Amino acid sequence: MTGLSRARVARRIAAGAAYGGGGIGLAGAAAVGLLLAEAQLARRRVGNGASGHVPNADGLYGASYTVPGEPALRLTMLGDSTAAGQGVHRAGQTPGALLASGVAAIAERPVGLSTVAVPGARSDDLERQVTLALADPSRVPDVCVIMIGANDVTHRMPPAHSVRHLSSAVRRLRTAGAEVVVGTCPDLGTIEPVRQPLRWLARRASRQLAAAQTIGAVEQGGRTVSLGDLLGPEFAANPRELFGPDNYHPSVEGYATAAMAVLPTVGAVLGLWPAEEERPDAARREGFLPVARAAAEAAEEAGTEVTAAMPSGPRGPWALLKRRRRRRLPEPEPAPSTQPT
């Protein structure tokens, strides 16, 4: 499938979300029976993301940067097991703790982390999670990170429905005053026990959803980062290192890889990144594209950021596509037992 074809598919899914349609099938009706048969075999060998221990990482990070009278930044994690950190044993190994520690080091301010993500969640759970995140109007998060989509694919939620729920969540958070960064659906085609042809179908489905998620989130004022890395090329090359014991959730190194991909965009939305890195760099193939084209390209390359740019053009809204340089994450400090302030 060409880049333009991928862009058209993503736009059709996003349009279905906006206008209430069901959207197109992710893998095509003819493949559904085969997909279900192979999925049943695969599920016997991997976890489904709905159970298992999740460390409680909520708390204050970067406490040494505390200045009297200056409040801590607030970071909230929403989404599924990858946002919650299922598969690791210590709180400091979760993506929320890694991001909170990274933002604290960049901003030289403490960061209060709150997690409402739930293992096994699909996009239709985001309404509940957003309500929790915004429960206290005096403590609206400065930035929310959403990681969602894998369970939508494995449970065959219509992609337009997925995007509709995500778009609504981003809109509510932005209206409340929070910045939003969405880690789009990871590439499920590299889960180790999954064999062909399910592997190909899973890759196609997850990348189509990731591109459509990008359109929906960006049009509501959020930014997206492709999480193909989360279960993508780096996992395929190093499955024993980057997958956890269940061969499904990321390991400690895998979550660090994902957090390192998201951190530059979180820093950028908070105004913490160097100004020169906000300009597109032609040498890194960055630039302005129609949003559907940018979404399709981002879905093919992990770590790629998409953000709204010019409001409209001959081919609809435009976006800025960036391939940010990744920064090494600082060692996370243990979160205290008290809630973030």
Per-position DSSP letters for 181-210, written without gaps between them: EEEPPP-GGG-TT--TTHHHHHHHHHHHHH
Q: Is 161 noted as a catalytic residue in this protein?
A: no
Determine how many CB atoms are found less than 10 A away from the CB of residue 334.
12
Residue 59's DSSP bridge partners are 113
The tokens describing 97, both together, are 């703790």
Give the separation between CA 307 and CA 279, rounded to whole angstroms: 12
Give the separation between CA 274 and CA 110, rounded to whole angstroms: 20
Q: Is 114 noted as a catalytic residue in this protein?
A: no
**The one catalytic residue among 80, 81, 101, 152:** 81
Strand 111-115, strand 59-61: pairing: antiparallel
Burial of 33 per CB tally in 10 Å (0-12, 13-18, 19+): exposed
Give the separation between CA 301 and CA 232, rounded to whole angstroms: 9
Half-sphere exposure of 27 (CA within 13 A, CB side): 23
Identity (one letter) of the amino acid at 259? Answer: A
C-alpha 54, offset from chain centre = 18
**The one catalytic residue among 123, 161, 249, 251:** 249
Per-position DSSP letters for 251-281, written without gaps between them: -HHHHHHHHHHHHHHHHHHTT-S-GGGGS--
C-alpha 273, offset from chain centre = 20
180: left (phi over 0), alpha (psi -120 to 50) or beta: beta
Q: Is 81 noted as a catalytic residue in this protein?
A: yes
Residues marked as catalytic: 81, 246, 249
